[in-house]
Chains A and B, each alone.
Chain A
Amino acid sequence: MSQDKKPSFGFGSKIAAITPSAEDAPPPAPPEADAVAERHGFVARESEQLLKIREPVNAATAQINVRAEVADLNVFLAWCKAERLSYREAFKRIALAIRKGAI
């Protein structure tokens, strides 16, 4: 019998009767499942990687130092704090506003 032939004795129809279903997924395994596996020697082989909070910037970056009046700096810092922005993100907003001609 060759696989090049069409499905014989209903094999194709038996396969067709199997339907994909996410609903049949078993409930999530409880945390003890890993502990049970470890007792049988099925241990973690991958070291856990620290999550990175800061998103990498996919563009050239540089740094500038600014000597500004304290009152102006305070306005900027208060705005960053209120908007929960990093200095980089805040500067990005200012640059965007300049590009749009908003300021």
Chain B
Amino acid sequence: MPVISVANPKGGAGKSTTALVLGTTLAHFGGTVSLIDCDPNRPIAAWAQGESGTTMRVISDVTESTIVGTIDRERGGRQFVVVDLEGTASRMVSRAITRSDLVLIPMQASAVDAAQAARAVDLVREEEQVLNREIPFRIVFTRTSSAIPTRNEKMIVEELRASGIPVLTTHLNERAAFKSLFTYRVALSELDPALVNGVPAAQENAQSLSEEVVELVATLTKKARA
């Protein structure tokens, strides 16, 4: 506990960035973390070829047949299992969701992203009925402005809330430092502020997001064990 899947059938929604930021931040603060890279392009596996000193374990080479076993094996030995899912609607995605304690659905504040995020939400809700258990999920807004929310963003957030779709308070803002993670293949705490702009603000953003997720997970665990 907990298995946190990061899913949205749309590509470019910010899944790998969210998974990497969350995983490395939890590891930085002492958590034992496994990150399962299910994206066929293997962005996290490529990142792990860099020189990061993170303790986060990266696992790739998973298939539709092995994803369930891989998640269950890691769950027993690590505090956090983060699953970065592919940006397509596939059996790999649906099977990972059935093994998850929390599904994070990253999306940009756009109608296109919202439509695809809705597919993931619909799947989660119907799988809940088949599994006869709740699969908690939260929308995570990505690449939003850290300064002022756009009118479009406000409108989409309001629509989601009105539809009863839970949204994380913390957004993963548009920041050069998040993109630089994949360029320099290190964790946020290892980025050189002389080379990358806004590293401290990105670290603060990453910590806020991770804290919100950890608090949510703690609440969900307590509820599940009650």
Chain A interface residues toward B at CB < 8 A = 1-4, 7, 11-12, 14-22, 24-30, 32-34, 36-46
Contact = CB atoms under 8 A, between A and B. Distances in A.
Q: Which size bracket describes the interface of B in this complex?
A: 35 or more
Q: Is the interface of B mostly helix, strand, loop or mixed?
A: helix
Given A18-B221, A44-B90, A44-B91, A24 B101 contact: yes
B200 A21 contact: no
A36 to B, nearest CB: 5
A25 to B, nearest CB: 6
B1 A43 contact: no
B92 interface: yes
Contact of B206 (A3, A28, A38): A3
Contacts of A21: 1, 75-76
B79 A14 contact: no
A67 B77 CA distance: 59
Interface in B54-112: 63-65, 68, 72, 75-80, 88-95, 98-99, 101
A27 B93 CA distance: 18
Nearest to A21: B1
Nearest to B92: A45
Contacts of A42: 9, 89-91, 93-94, 123
Task: Determine which residue in A4, A20, A29 has the highest number of CB atoms from chain B within 10 A of its CB, and name it.
Answer: A20
18 contacts: A11-B214, A12-B30, A14-B215, A15-B29, A18-B1, A18-B2, A18-B79, A19-B79, A21-B76, A24-B101, A24-B225, A29-B68, A30-B130, A34-B95, A36-B127, A37-B93, A42-B89, A43-B91
